[in-house]
Amino acid sequence: MGSLAFLSNLMIPLIVFLIVSYGLSSHVNIFDAFVKGALDGIKVVAGILPTLIGLMVAVGILRQSGFLELLSGFMKPVAGYVGFPAELIPLALVKMVSSSAASGLLTDIFKEYGTDSYIGFLAGVLMCCSETVFYTISVYFMATRDKFHQAVTGGRWMLPGALLSTLAGTIASVVIVRFLQ
């Protein structure tokens, strides 16, 4: 276990050393390349900031309005039939939009049910087996809108594929937790 911790602590400095060594051996001005990359990153952030703010506001409105609880009550019979706790429906839905909002819901679930309960354990595994689909897609489209317009317009299967993979992750979460408990 000590050697694994040693390797973990060594990884980031080793990666930085390898990048700097490669830059020096390639005769690249490393600082200028870093500054240019940081400037490009700031431009991307400025471009996607309105989308991020819109997503955060929408998730906040959904949480505070009680819509997620209403939807959970409506979907409870179907969720119970497939073995998915209705208490986790808001988490599964919010996770597709915002990971930080889903983390807040996860904390609430842990406080109410505990981390060792079936619902708490399933919620933790669900967070690991799902992706922020709408956030990732919106950031991707905003970041590639100008440069890769042709490639993005061919992405009509992106949302169905992402939703299908989220469904597969949710099903896998339920199966894994049932197997382990």
Domain-wise residue ranges, the chain: 42-180
How many residues can be counted in the chain?
A: 181
Percent of the chain with pLDDT over 90: 20
129 vs 125: CA distance, rounded Å: 6
Mean pLDDT across 125-153: 73
In contact, 126 and 102? CB cutoff 8 Å: no
Instruction: Specify the higher pLDDT residue, 164 or 98.
Output: 164
- pLDDT digit string, tens, across residues 32-79: 988 999 999 898 888 778 877 887 788 788 878 988 888 888 888 888
Does the pLDDT at position 154 exceed 70? no
Q: Rg of the chain's alpha carbons, rounded to an integer?
A: 21
